């Protein structure tokens, strides 16, 4: 490839023949090689297992520079948004591309408040699940089931107003569904939405209020939850966002796409890490708190143990979200008067890892999941709910990614492969094998 300043084309030589491929520049000067004509020109395809070097789309939603530790949504830094915005404001920004003015925000907020109830029949679904089944599995099923309750969503290319209604329904009903999961897990009666409350307060009320008692919404909880939701709101083409886009590219309905995104998020290498971090920190505590022993395990290639909440596909510098959460973690625990010994273990683990050549050479830093669970735990969420809370925050990002794919009418996602199996073989009847 020639230097970007000299050429707008990359040159590729295959078996002695040279081909030119256009370069694409992003607004932050990122360079992509447009290989959309590669196969028709050359007969070759690219191979990039895990898509480590593949740009699946151009996008104007989120910018991330993993080397510098920068994250911006629609041009606004994550630090500014986490400090100054509400989660609903960030959701509006991601989905509509601009910050709302006061009137737009009030309209948006009202539209969300007016869609918070879920169909009573949804509760029947819970009867089929064995007690103790994981809430992430339940969440995928409940979100997918919304397509049965709202058949007007089934064709996402039919009517744009239908789709806007589907988006509002999803954002409005997700907290209700998440709170239902908490209540049903405990066998407690549901708390219905209160449309006089803001988005985060309503969620906390449905989750923590007990029908037999008054519940006062703690502003510290509201601030913490708001910040955590914002910090999870989008992260460009990660595993779950790419899943949402690829499922949507077959023109599946939005509920099905989000359900698929939740399934992708569940894995411990992605959003499921927040549950695994707390389980790891607990295990270290139970084992006497010897952090060095676990650092050695993480470095041992014969040991499957990995430091959960550490490392990231794109951040090769401190994850800016982790920096904000780490600070909030201290603040919130102080304000709540909670002393959690696993916070000290987490800090010691981080300090030891960041001074260790293995982690330094591989540029492994704490990611968004490393400290978030400690806050969720201090607020009273059970560990199985942590990834569900991640999904609640990520919802507007998934929607924005899906919408961008839909509005650009992107073709169905269908990667190629290089076949390495058996070549043509003659079938041999069973009695002759
Ligand atoms: N502990 C120990 N070693 C690690 C860790 C870790 N957490 N993460 C990466 N490494 C090592 C790998 O063993 C590898 O070493 P090698 O070069 O000697 O083989 C090197 O660092 C590169 O790691 P890869 O797995 O190749 O990096 P990849 O980009 O594929 O994986 C991932 C990124 C999945 C996040 C990985 O760092 C990991 O498993 N972390 C723990 C799980 C986690 O916290 N996931 C949440 C990510 S944030 C999010 O999704 C919201």
In angstroms, rounded to a whole number, what is the distance separating the alpha carbons of residues 115 and 288?
Answer: 49
Neighbouring C-alpha atoms within 13 Å toward the C-beta of 235: 27
- Closest ligand 1 atom to 306 CA: 1
C-alpha 311 to ligand 1 mean position (Å): 5
pTM of the model: 0.94
C-alpha 312 to ligand 1 mean position (Å): 6
Residue ranges and CATH numbers for the domains of the chain are 2-65 (2.20.28.60), 78-413 (1.10.580.10)
- Write the DSSP string, 79-124: HHHHHH--HHHHHHHHHHSS---HHHHHHHHHHHHTT----TTHHH
- Closest ligand 1 atom to 362 CA: 21
125-149: pLDDT as tens digits: 999 999 889 999 999 999 999 999 9
Average pLDDT over residues 2-22: 85
The rounded percent of the chain whose pLDDT value lies above 70 is 99
Is 330 a residue of the active site?
no
C-alpha 269 to ligand 1 mean position (Å): 8
Pair of tokens at residue 35: 């290989």
335-370: pLDDT as tens digits: 888 888 999 999 999 999 999 999 999 999 999 999
Pair of tokens at residue 49: 């297992």
C-alpha 262 to ligand 1 mean position (Å): 21
170-186: pLDDT as tens digits: 999 999 999 999 999 99
Atom 8 in ligand 1: residue holding the nearest Cα: 311
Pair of tokens at residue 168: 């509002």
CA dihedral for 330, 333, 337, 343, sign (positive or negative): negative
382 Cβ partners below 8 Å, 6+ apart?
182, 185
Q: Given this model, what pLDDT does residue 5 score?
A: 64
Q: Which of 235, 312, 319, 340 is catalytic?
A: 312
Q: Give ligand 1 pocket residues (Cβ under 6 A).
A: 269-271, 273, 298, 306-313, 362, 364, 367-369
Is 80 a residue of the active site?
no
- Closest ligand 1 atom to 301 CA: 13
Element (H, E) at 67: none
In angstroms, rounded to a whole number, what is the distance separating the alpha carbons of residues 328 and 19?
Answer: 52
């Amino acid at each position: 490839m020639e230097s970007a300043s000299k050429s707008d084309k990359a040159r590729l030589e295959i078996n002695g023949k040279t081909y030119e491929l256009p370069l694409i520049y992003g607004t932050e000067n990122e360079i992509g090689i447009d290989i959309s004509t590669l196969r028709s020109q050359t007969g070759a395809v690219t191979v990039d297992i895990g898509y480590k070097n593949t740009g699946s789309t151009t996008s104007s939603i989120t910018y991330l520079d993993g080397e510098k530790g920068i994250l911006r949504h629609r041009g606004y830094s994550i630090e500014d948004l986490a400090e100054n915005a509400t989660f609903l404001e960030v959701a509006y920004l991601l989905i509509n591309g601009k910050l709302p003015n006061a009137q737009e925000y009030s309209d948006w907020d009202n539209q969300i408040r007016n869609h918070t109830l879920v169909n009573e029949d949804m509760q029947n679904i819970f009867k089929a699940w064995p007690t103790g089944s994981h809430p992430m599995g339940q969440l995928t099923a409940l979100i997918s089931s919304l397509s049965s309750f709202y058949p007007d969503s089934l064709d996402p290319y039919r009517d744009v107003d239908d789709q806007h209604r589907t988006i509002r329904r999803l954002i409005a009903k997700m907290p209700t569904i998440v709170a239902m999961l908490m209540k049903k897990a405990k066998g407690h009666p549901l708390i219905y939405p209160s449309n006089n409350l803001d988005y985060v307060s309503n969620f906390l009320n449905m989750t923590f209020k007990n029908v037999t008692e008054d519940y006062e919404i703690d502003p510290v909880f509201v601030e913490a939850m708001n910040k955590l939701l914002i910090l999870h709101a989008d992260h460009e083409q990660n595993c779950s966002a790419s899943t949402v886009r690829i499922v949507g590219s077959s023109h599946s309905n939005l509920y099905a796409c989000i359900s698929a995104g939740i399934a992708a998020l569940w894995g411990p290498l992605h959003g499921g890490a927040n549950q695994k971090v707390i389980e790891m920190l607990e295990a270290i505590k139970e084992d006497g708190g010897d952090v060095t022993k676990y650092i050695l395990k993480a470095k041992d290639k014969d040991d499957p143990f990995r430091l959960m909440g550490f490392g990231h596909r794109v951040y090769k510098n401190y994850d800016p979200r982790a920096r904000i959460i780490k600070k909030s973690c201290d603040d919130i625990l102080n304000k709540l008067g909670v002393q959690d010994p696993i916070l000290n273990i987490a800090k010691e683990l981080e300090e030891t890892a960041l001074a260790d050549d293995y982690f330094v050479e591989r540029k492994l830093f704490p990611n968004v999941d490393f400290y978030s669970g400690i806050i969720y735990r201090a607020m009273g969420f059970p560990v199985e709910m942590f990834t569900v809370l991640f999904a609640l925050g990520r919802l507007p990002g998934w929607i924005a990614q899906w919408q961008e794919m839909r509005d650009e009418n992107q073709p169905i996602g269908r990667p190629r492969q290089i076949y390495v199996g058996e070549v043509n073989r003659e079938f041999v009847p069973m009695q002759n094998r």
